[in-house]
Amino acid sequence: MVLNDPGFEEEDPNFLSRSERYDQAVRKSAQMVLKMREYGIADPEELYCYKSCVHPGRPEPFDLHLGMFLPTLLNQATSEQMDRFFMPAWNLEIIGTYAQTEMGHGTHIRGLETTATYDPVTQEFIINSPTVSSIKWWPGGLGKTSNHAIVLAQLYTQGTCHGLHAFIVPIRDLDTHKPLPGIVVGDIGPKFGFNEVDNGFLKLDHVRIPRENMLMKYAKVDPDGTYIKPPSAKLTYGTMVFIRSLIVGESARALAKSTTIAIRYSAVRHQSEIRPGEPEPQILDYQTQQYKLFPVLAMAYAFTFVGQYMNQMYYRITGDINQGDFSELPELHALSAGLKAFTTWAANSAIEVCRMSCGGHGYSRSSALPDIYVEFTPSCTYEGENTVMMLQTARYLIKSYRQARAGQRLHGIVSYLNEEGRQRIQPQLVAARSTGVDINDLSSLVEIYKLRAATLVELAAKSIQKELQHKKSQEDAWNNSAIDLVRASDAHCHYVVVKLFAEKLGKIDAAPIHSVLLTLARLYALHGISINSGDFLQAGLLNGSQIPQITNCIKELLSELRPNAVALVDAFDIHDRMLNSVLGRYDGNVYEHMFEWARRSPLNSTEVHESFHKYLKPLRSKL
């Protein structure tokens, strides 16, 4: 529907200025909203899919209106507020954004400085940015597109601060779109990617809004200024799990695109020689190229399955929550934080491996790889900065470890921290003994990933213990063990990914598919062991002589995958128009289309650039 719609035709954004890119994105988004109404697309997953086709791989100016403003109204607005705001917002009379992050504070939201002070005389809130660092910064669509913002601010009433609450603040005139009095709003300037989005700033100078503009479904402020607390809101856990499961899915998709481009191109590109006198081989025949790309291909599949698992998990939890059962939430919340960080970091590096595996042409915007990178990399920072996420997961792991030590019996994914699991690890004997691990057996590999995680959690816990024995406070002990804690979380997540990949194989009946996915799973697991071999050796889970065996096994897996590699990326089934890469074209006709693309570059619109007449020709006479 999207590909055949002339209303969505576009110029390659790489040929446009920032303002033209924004302009084109708004045009397409306006068309998109019309079409979604026409086709009756309202289901969130359908909407997400349709939007992904309209703006393939690119965030757009309406993202926060559709993805944050409307859902926040649905979740937190009273019925009176729904009446006032929802339909106008649905009909784009009101275009909104979600203004949380400030120049001075991101992930640590308790530190936000914007204030909302209740004035019982006029029954208004006074929204104010008291400092430069309190200026709202980054919200998508805030700069030029939105006329409303849901502003997160510290609520003050009757002289007391009650922490962060959400307020609906009109920021531009509905008719003229000009900023309202007291509002300084604009675009935060060019970024690494996100060129279509007007990420904005918002400075509020004692802006008054009616009491009824505080989102009051849960917390409330009475007309006299009396504050009424919200019931405890564990529901937000579920939303975070959902968003983070989407990000894990995005990691998988970014890898699917990158490997599709790099592996197809590596089958098209012929270069140099392996055997003298023979024709130049496809660069995919070089072991070094396979070693760059096939582990990333395996990772793309692994993260796809993890994303699916988390999505299903989210729906299961939502069911549990509706039944009043919150028991699994803490573990899953911790897991989703860690997996968000683990998958985005890994994908972030892997995209660049794919790009650089394409040689010079990977630097051309026509390859699409630079765009994939710059649109993806922010996921390492937004929705919870990755290091902070890893430390959140670590907090859960350490708590679980201590519970196990105190004799509690752990369930679920951290059950490996139970006493009997730990007894199997004896780091002190480590290096000497020969291990019973069968490197050809996937379940055996899952097992040593588990034991590695257990070892590193224990090391982190002991580091904290040691610090405490040196009379450090809990907080300093924590900070002084942070390196170990991040490492423990990383190992935990790595174990979960390998485990989920292995479990997925159990659900696949078709023998040929099972076979090739098993090859990928083994490669994923062995490659991870290889690049983290120190952990496994140190913990005595492998001995030194097994490392060269693992290297040999990896080489065999690379050879096994070689004939299937192109089919394995074709299976991601990414349409050429969605991929938008001359290197990754399905038909392999790379060079002609690269030439054609280049000729359309704006710098070629004139034969002679005006700078020749302005600067170069006059220069001659001056020399």
Q: In the complex, what is the shortest distance from the CB of residue 503 to a copy of itself, in angstroms, rounded to a whole number?
A: 27
- Residue of 2, 26, 153, 214 that binds a copy of itself (CB under 8 A): 26
**Contacts with a copy of itself, 188-227, as mask; x by CB under 8 A:** xxxxxxx---x--x--------------------------
Which one is catalytic: 102, 375, 383, 467?
383
Query: By CB under 8 A, what part of segment 400-459 binds a copy of itself?
Result: 427-428, 430-432, 459
477/505 with CB nearer a copy of itself: 477
* C-beta separation of 585 from 593 below 8 A: yes
Determine how β-strand 183-187 pairs with β-strand 200-204: antiparallel
Q: Is 38 a catalytic residue?
A: no
Look at residues 553, 522, 550 and name the one whose alpha carbon lies nearest to residue 537: 550
Whole-angstrom distance, CA of residue 119 vs CA of residue 156: 9
- Residue of 288, 322, 323, 469 that binds a copy of itself (CB under 8 A): 288
Three-class secondary structure assignment of 311-361: HHHHHHHHHHHHCCCCCCHHHHHHHHHHHHHHHHHHHHHHHHHHHHHCHHH
Total residues interacting with a copy of itself, rule: CB under 8 A: 150
Binding flag, residue 135, a copy of itself (CB under 8 A)? yes
Rg for the chain, CA atoms, rounded: 27
Query: By CB under 8 A, what part of segment 33-62 binds a copy of itself?
Result: 33-34, 37
Whole-angstrom distance, CA of residue 337 vs CA of residue 409: 23
178/316 with CB nearer a copy of itself: 178
* C-beta separation of 330 from 396 below 8 A: yes
Query: By CB under 8 A, what part of segment 62-91 binds a copy of itself?
Result: 91
Binding flag, residue 30, a copy of itself (CB under 8 A)? yes
The dihedral region occupied by 433, where left means phi > 0, alpha psi between -120 and 50, and beta the remainder, is beta
> 204 φ, ψ to 5°?
-110, 120
Q: What is the DSSP string of 397-427?
A: HHHHHHHHHTTPPP-GGGGGGSHHHHTT--T
- Residue of 50, 291, 326, 564 that binds a copy of itself (CB under 8 A): 291
Query: By CB under 8 A, what part of segment 550-609 binds a copy of itself?
Result: 551, 554-555, 591-592, 594-595, 597-604, 607-609
Look at residues 53, 59, 55 and name the one whose alpha carbon lies nearest to residue 97: 59
Instruction: For the chain, report the end-to-end CA distance as a whole number of angstroms.
Output: 61
Binding flag, residue 287, a copy of itself (CB under 8 A)? yes
Q: In the complex, what is the shortest distance from the CB of residue 333 to a copy of itself, in angstroms, rounded to a whole number?
A: 19
Binding flag, residue 161, a copy of itself (CB under 8 A)? no
Q: In the complex, what is the shortest distance from the CB of residue 509 to a copy of itself, in angstroms, rounded to a whole number?
A: 34
Query: By CB under 8 A, what part of segment 304-323 binds a copy of itself?
Result: none
304/364 with CB nearer a copy of itself: 364
86/291 with CB nearer a copy of itself: 291
Q: Which residues are catalytic?
A: 383
